[in-house]
Amino acid sequence: MTDALTARQAQILKVLIDEYIDSADPVGSEILEKKYSLGVSSATVRNEMATLTKIGYLKQPHTSSGRVPTPKAMKFYIDQLMEEKQMSLTDEVKAKEEVWDVKDDLDKLMEEATQALAERTKTLSISALDDGRTWHAGLANVFINPEFADLTMCANLFTFIEETRRMNDLFFKRIMGESPVEVLFGEELGWPELEPMGIITTHFSAKGHRGAMGVVGPARLSYATIIPVLRYFGNLVQEVAGK
């Protein structure tokens, strides 16, 4: 069966992912039919969701009759369906002002930029340079998400960000920086403890170093908001620090 989606399947996939990002719960056909103007019956939505499951865009958690998107679906959503929500010019100027005073001290610049990224995205933000230095900010933001009510998941995440070797492996070996912003899911890494998570990264050059910044959270991160912010901060660090 071909993976090419019909317009209706793409529409259903988009609203299902929008709903999942908002609710954090598996999504059933009845919810989509009630909340969104799809123009088809619940049975038709259900049949299309079954097809999307069969071709790898949706999966069914063991404890629910609803569906959640797979990494394949999330990447299709990001590349084809999602509309980015750009930063305002006011917020861009404010972000630049926050880091300008420390532009000559790379350590402080990375620290300030990582903190500012965490505040704007409401996520755990991580940064690294190719010499092994790492930074993180926004640990408290993790607990906003119901997925992290599982203390084991929190412990796995916090352990990961303290392991400099794995952070650098992620930023400079697993993710090559071929695109301005890249999205990776934990289950793609082969690290079981990070399987439920999503990671968004960008690369830059700063004072002779290769650098990377990213955010980590549940797989249902608000990609439409976070991707433009992360892209801006990567460009900002490179601009104010100089290559």
Q: Considering the entire predicted model, what is its pTM? A: 0.91
| pLDDT attached to residue 2 | 45
Give me the domains of the chain, ranges plus CATH numbers.
Answer: 7-81 (1.10.10.10), 89-241 (3.30.450.40)
Phi-psi region of 82 (alpha: psi -120 to 50; beta: other; left: phi over 0): beta
- Secondary structure (DSSP) of the chain: ---PPPHHHHHHHHHHHHHHHHH-S-B-HHHHHHHS--SS-HHHHHHHHHHHHHTTSEE--TT-SSBEE-HHHHHHIIIII----PPPHHHHHHHHHHHHTTTT-HHHHHHHHHHHHHHHHTSEEEEEETTS-EEEE-GGGGGGSGGGGSHHHHHHHHHHHH-HHHHHHIIIII----SSSEEEEHHHHT-GGGTTEEEEEEEEEETTEEEEEEEEEETT--HHHHHHHHHHHHHHHHHHH--
If we measure between CA atoms, which residue out of 196, 217, 234, 223 comes closest to residue 80?
Answer: 223
63 within 8 A of 204, measured Cβ to Cβ? no
Could you report the per-residue pLDDT of 194-223, keeping only the tens digit for each?
A: 888 999 999 999 999 999 999 999 999 999
147 within 8 A of 218, measured Cβ to Cβ? yes
| pLDDT attached to residue 3 | 66
Could you report the per-residue pLDDT of 65-106, keeping only the tens digit for each?
A: 899 999 999 999 999 999 999 999 999 999 999 999 999 999
Interval 106-126 mean pLDDT: 97
